[in-house]
Structure 1
Amino acid sequence: MNAPTTRPRQALIDPDDQGYNRTANPSLNHLIEQRLSRRSLLRGGMASAGGALLGSLSLAACGGGSDGAGDSPAPLQLGFNPVAKSLADAVIVPAGYSASVLFRLGDPMAAGVPEYRNDGTDEPGSYDRRAGDHHDGMTWFGLGSGDRWEPRAAQRGLLVQNHEAITPVFLHPNGQTIRAGARSVPGEVLREFYLHGVSIIETSKGSNGQWSYQRDSRLNRRVHTLTPMELSGPAKGSAQLVTAYDPQGGKVRGTLNNCANGSTPWGTYLTCEENWAGYFRLASTQGHDARTLSNYKRYGVSGEGRELWATTQGAANAAEQDSYDRWNAQVRAANAAQDYRYGPNTYGWVVEIDPFNPNSTPKKRTALGRFGHEGAALGPVQAGQPLVWYMGDDARNEYVYKFVSDALWDSADLGKGLAAGDKYLDKGKLYVARFNEDGSGEWLHLSLANPAIRGYAGYAFADEADVYINARHAADAVGATKMDRPEWTSINPLNGDVYLTLTNNNASNRALDKTNAANPRSYNDPKNGKDQKGNPNGHVLRFADAGRNPAATRLTWDVYLFGARASAPAQVNLSGLTADNDFSSPDGLWFSQAAPGLLWLETDDGAYTDVTNCMLLAAVPGQVGDGAAKTIVNQDGDKTREQKTFIGARPGEKNTQLKRFLVGPKGCEITGIAESGDGRALFVNIQHPGEDTAEADIGNPARYQSHWPDGGNARPRSATLVITRNDGGLIGL
């Protein structure tokens, strides 16, 4: 018998950093020589904007009489002193604020579930009633009488959150048990199955002002990799979705690698499947046709799978073995109805969950396309108009998408759950963005009716369903703009501007000759004496659909904010960041609904962690077009190259503001953000503290990178914070 072995932790190579776009698409099409008039594109307000979770259908639009924000309401004022950068193993918030831990990895979610031991020995079967790992995107749904959705509720609500992935070193007694390249302890794998997915918990504010969650609420629920789900929309029933689990291609088990999130105006939750491709085994391509292999190459399906689930041995019965075999994308039987060769095609979707109905079956909404979904941000909601969701595809050189519903919004659909989703999310138009050199852009329709897709030489689409299943290929075909890792999107409820985080890119993708107006920087940001070239610090882009109409097919854009060290040269620190607000690798992004115009920005950084742990910043931005055109001089050694772009007003200019609000513990990512209905409680997730701890050090707590949140010699745990102001006021103001 082979002795247990360990392997280098694959998670140390962030799957988000991988790129699978091998097309010859230019990073930006240099087609338009004269910049469109920003004034003409921005003139004219929306009929309504933002506030979708508050059911708002009547917020006033900003005026369009000038390029600046002169007609906008008086700006908010950030009312706290900025937090300093920190390398401490602690959560630091401004004076006058308190942060408490609400919900940690392993916390019980049902009566009778024991307290979490946090030593790897908890019963694997109990994890379907415990908090998952890697807390990520989330939404707070206020609860009113009869457990109905009440968006403005302040004291009680359902907190629905994603669990993106796992830190295996801390989940089992001694990390993952692997013998001869295979998982040999099924209980460890079952534990990992349950720790992915989504948690729904009932939260409330006590008479003492402290927040807690109700462990035995009837509304508490886990949705994980074994939860039955339905495929819905244009790809349902496709031959490419056939598996042994459902030969009809309409059902699937579970959701995976749930990163950012979204919501609907009828009160349901959207969880987004991001780096799902890396979990599947494709060590051999024998038996697969050329189209399937082209699909898997474009999405990054290859190798043994990041957690080796498909290799698991020792199942107690055939049903249990099937739960492991489903991660094997190799051809293993006579036809697709007898194996899981198309298993990867059942992931990469936006999944709708009704948090108010624990017995409902989640639905994967295929009309929103299949890719590495980072989120699905709901655009302005207006009666009688289509609904719009904006989505990033989080990998280097991927694209930005939006979905526009065919159905027009009717507030009578409030509270109708998944039936409303059938109406608005199963039929519509899927678009991908092209950002032009002159600050304009287009939304390109992804449909087989488009000649560029129908005649695309890079992939032969079989039918319309194939366009949704292989949305990346379709986006390649129409010439979308490759971006620096598109992540979260969020919409300013004051004016409808869409903000998009672009976390970073590496030297090969952003060399001097590979920049463009929307991804304009190529530079070196040395860390501990080692070069970091490309765009290691990332930026935040924003855009406005033409006429402030979210269904429009034209847009205008600028770069709102550039990540950089405060000490970086002026051609790198283009936003003029200072010690009070410098940051790197923007990721999470979210506008408050209780305080319209207040923007929260979270980081997932590896480039600036020699100086500070990851952070949360608060901002009051302006609007698209409040800055100016600029020519950047990028440099690599003694080589230089000019790049034109469009930059928004710097923090401090034109009433804009940016301050650091929170710094997290060691090794963490700050991600996921939501608020109570009155904006007096802010929920923030601390993901994977201590993730760089080596498996070899599991027996030596002194060598753990972090012990947060429990302290002492405890293993670190992802957790949700509740942040309140000591005087009970609105957070951040």
Structure 2
Amino acid sequence: MTPAVNTRRPLPMADHVRGKRSAVTCELECANACLGAECNTSANEDFRSIASAVFSRRALFGLGAAAAVAVAVGVGRGAPVSAPGAAGIGGAGIPSGRPGRAGLAFRPIAPVPAEVDAMTVPDGYAWKPIIRWGDPLFSRTPAFDLAGQTPEAQAEQFGYNCDYLDIVADPSGKTGVLVNNHEYVNPQLMFPPTQDASELRRRGDVYKAAQGMSVVDIRRRKVGEPWSYVVDGGRNRRITVETRFELTGPAAGSDLLKTSADPEGRWVHGTLGNCAGGTTPWGTILSGEENFNGYFAWAADTPQQKRYSASSTTSTSTGWEKYDPRFDAHNPDYVNEPNRFGYIVEIDPQNASSTPRKHTAMGRFKHEGANIHVASDGRVVAYMGDDERGDYLYKFVSKNRMSGSRKKNLTLLSEGDLFVAKFSGDSPASEITGTGALPSDGAFDGTGEWIPLTRGGKSAVAGFTTEEVLVYTRLAADAVGATKMDRPEDVEPNPVTGKIYVALTNNSRRTVVDEANPVTGNRYGHVLELTETAGHSGTTFGWSVLLLCGDPATFENAYFAGFPKELVSPISCPDNVAFDSAGDLWISTDGAPSTIGYGDGLFKVPLTGDERGHVQQFLSVPRDAETCGPVIHDTEGLVFVAVQHPGEDGTFAAPRSLFPDYGSTAPGDVATAPRPSVVQVYRG
């Protein structure tokens, strides 16, 4: 991209097609991480022997601190959509070979071709948005005006690309609060091209206001009905790139976090790349700062910089570095500014005036999110994935225990110990062929160890100070020999069973396989199931591959926990996971169009009994969109998803989607623009 003129350069589509996403999404969301060299160049099996030579303190730390719309449907009842000319799932021409079990009853939809611009839900269900990009949160806020966006208006309107979502009902069940992340923006869909420097700067401030998070009051007439959002709700709030955050934990105040604007290293303006998240037992919301590196112009000329971004950059898609010095890490006054992003953020949705916090004790990497389980000893355990090829799975164990005091619980994530996972398989290496064919014992499985990076709040890694472990966490994890994974995204404990589920989206460039990552060129991704063998605050676990994703019609070794593969819905690129009241797994996807040719969607997967592994597609999102969230309130017959980047490959003048309003096609008409939205699906 050339930010100065707000036009798009030719994109290397072939490489992206091998991966999981649209080329546009890759450039805007993750700064083309999948095209560059892998950040993790460690050889963990012999890393300890070379750590002192290659990563001495001096070597490491002495160098400075989308075309016209094809199909459009309005809000309303859904129906299965079948690919033209396809035989259907299992070759039977039907959405599923057998019905799903009790719970949220639905007949699975057939896979929807990637080019269809429709929100598709099961027969008997309907959908509608709760809130869309640009919807005003306050009566004083202007209504959304596609042709007249301003920073001031956007700072009080619902933000852009929506990702992590939760719907938290109050005790009455008739009111509640919606919290949503806004991961990144797409300038080509928000504005027409321009070469005017002052206009580009003004737009840059709109981009700042469109990212971050939204907290919005919601209400309904009675329990079980769909929700509406509340203008002027007492909890309504926008958190943006300019919101003030407090740094907590051992690295707060470190020289590695100080800038000329914050000589104490304790306060940060803004949050960036907010992807998935989690909701704590004490009612706060956690958000993961993921692809923060793409917002900075930086040199990537030191080991610690290279480990977070393998290539140097002089410009970004937002253009902020041209007028805001803190986004130009070439500037010696702000060389540490990128070190102030990449954390787990905690906000209190009940208090619109509270100061959000960034928890350094939980490490710095490309956090997809964080999800908490309360261990049997009362400590809280947060599970986290680092979403990059060849990076790691982590968990954080609090120092203190949950109590009846919300005030005390609000400090739990500021102190504790950080661990990284090392996996071992139980099959001979010769049986892990890279094809996905099961070994002779019939399963990809084994044991694992949580290796400490901090103990008692202090460094547990030789050659690293505590601050270095927590700011350069990837390097510390390299040094202890963690297992390279295929892009660990959402990692969540099952609230019914306590087992942990890990969504590994894909890694099309994997060449060396192991039993936990058993497919060479893993385009479709897989899901792991972990069982803590010494309690959730312990250091050992067992694991197995639950799913090897893909379309069974084209990937013969696709695996669904032993369930007959001819009866499942095709699924590719698992991203976010959630659970219903029965403990069944729900998976949202990001990348199916470029890997199996179908739109991304939401899938239910039972985990016990005869139905274990029976993947069933519940919905499909519109053209170019990613399915985020999700939230499953199955006892009320409600499912919620955040629909991110609909029509991503289009332009302001030629949108590829009209979701969610499906209105006129007159340029500049509000209904012309694809609007990322939070959608609820209900029985209709």
TMscore range, shorter length: 0.7 to 0.9
Q: How does 1:230-629 map to 2 (within 5 A)?
A: 230-283=246-299, 293-300=302-309, 302-313=312-323, 324-332=324-332, 339-380=333-374, 382=376, 384-410=377-403, 412-414=404-406, 416=407, 419-422=408-411, 424-438=412-426, 439-447=446-454, 454-455=461-462, 461=464, 463-507=465-509, 510-511=510-511, 514-522=512-520, 534-547=521-534, 549-573=535-559, 576-578=564-566, 580-592=568-580, 595-606=581-592, 608=594, 611-622=597-608
Relative distance call for 1:706 and 1:282 in structure 2 (3 A) is: same
Q: Is the 8 A contact 2:453 2:459 kept in 1?
A: no
SS of the equivalent of 1:231 reads strand
Deviation at 1:546, TM superposition (A): 0.7
Q: Is the 8 A contact 2:278 2:369 kept in 1?
A: yes
Deviation at 1:11, TM superposition (A): 3.7
In structure 1, what residue type is equivalent to 2:605? Answer: A
Q: Map Cα deviations across residues 684-729 of structure 1 (whole Å, 9 max, x no partner).
A: 1110001112x5xx32x3xx22111121321111100011123xxx
Q: Is the 8 A contact 2:325 2:331 kept in 1?
A: no
Relative distance call for 1:4 and 1:367 in structure 2 (3 A) is: closer
The match for 1:101 is 129
Deviation at 1:427, TM superposition (A): 1.1
Q: Map Cα deviations across residues 395-438 of structure 1 (whole Å, 9 max, x no partner).
A: 1100000000111222x124x3xx5222x111111000001022
Q: Is the 8 A contact 1:328 1:340 kept in 2?
A: yes
Mapped partners of 1:409, 1:5: distance in 2: 49
Deviation at 1:305, TM superposition (A): 4.3
The runs of 5 or more residues in structure 1 that have no matched partner are 30-74, 144-149, 286-292, 314-323, 333-338, 523-533, 623-651, 727-733
In structure 2, what residue type is equivalent to 1:166? Answer: V
Mapped partners of 1:670, 1:27: distance in 2: 39
Q: How does 1:653-732 map to 2 (within 5 A)?
A: 653=610, 656-675=613-632, 679-693=636-650, 695=651, 698-699=652-653, 701=654, 704-711=655-662, 712-713=664-665, 714-726=672-684
TM normalised by structure 2 equals: 0.80
Relative distance call for 1:312 and 1:504 in structure 2 (3 A) is: same
Worse-superposed segment, 560-569 or 192-201:
560-569
SS of the equivalent of 2:288 reads strand
Mapped partners of 1:247, 1:450: distance in 2: 24
Q: Is the 8 A contact 1:485 1:502 kept in 2?
A: yes
Q: Map Cα deviations across residues 346-377 of structure 1 (whole Å, 9 max, x no partner).
A: 00000110111111100101110000000101
Q: Is the 8 A contact 1:83 1:580 kept in 2?
A: no
Mapped partners of 1:233, 1:350: distance in 2: 12
SS of the equivalent of 1:259 reads strand
Deviation at 1:201, TM superposition (A): 0.3
Report whether the alignment pairs 1:157 with 2:157: no
TM normalised by structure 1 equals: 0.75
Q: Is the 8 A contact 1:453 1:478 kept in 2?
A: no
Q: Map Cα deviations across residues 206-264 of structure 1 (whole Å, 9 max, x no partner).
A: 36944210011121000111001100011000000001221001111010110000121
Q: Is the 8 A contact 1:154 1:678 kept in 2?
A: no
Deviation at 1:3, TM superposition (A): 9.1
Q: Is the 8 A contact 2:417 2:455 kept in 1?
A: no
Mapped partners of 1:4, 1:280: distance in 2: 18
Mapped partners of 1:564, 1:269: distance in 2: 32
Deviation at 1:680, TM superposition (A): 3.6
Q: Is the 8 A contact 1:388 1:402 kept in 2?
A: yes
Q: Is the 8 A contact 2:386 2:393 kept in 1?
A: yes
SS of the equivalent of 1:682 reads strand
Q: Is the 8 A contact 2:204 2:320 kept in 1?
A: no
Q: Is the 8 A contact 2:461 2:469 kept in 1?
A: no
Mapped partners of 1:361, 1:284: distance in 2: 32
In structure 1, what residue type is equivalent to 2:112? Answer: S
Deviation at 1:20, TM superposition (A): 1.1
Q: 1:124 aligns with which of 138, 146, 151?
A: 151
Q: Map Cα deviations across residues 550-598 of structure 1 (whole Å, 9 max, x no partner).
A: 0110000000111111202433456553475111100010112xx1312
The match for 2:160 is 133
Q: Is the 8 A contact 1:228 1:253 kept in 2?
A: yes
Q: Is the 8 A contact 1:27 1:482 kept in 2?
A: no
Q: Map Cα deviations across residues 612-655 of structure 1 (whole Å, 9 max, x no partner).
A: 11010012113xxxxxxxxxxxxxxxxxxxxxxxxxxxxx8465
Q: Is the 8 A contact 1:365 1:426 kept in 2?
A: yes
Deviation at 1:517, TM superposition (A): 0.2
The match for 2:188 is 169
The match for 1:640 is none
Worse-superposed segment, 97-106 or 252-261:
97-106
Mapped partners of 1:257, 1:447: distance in 2: 26
Relative distance call for 1:708 and 1:398 in structure 2 (3 A) is: same
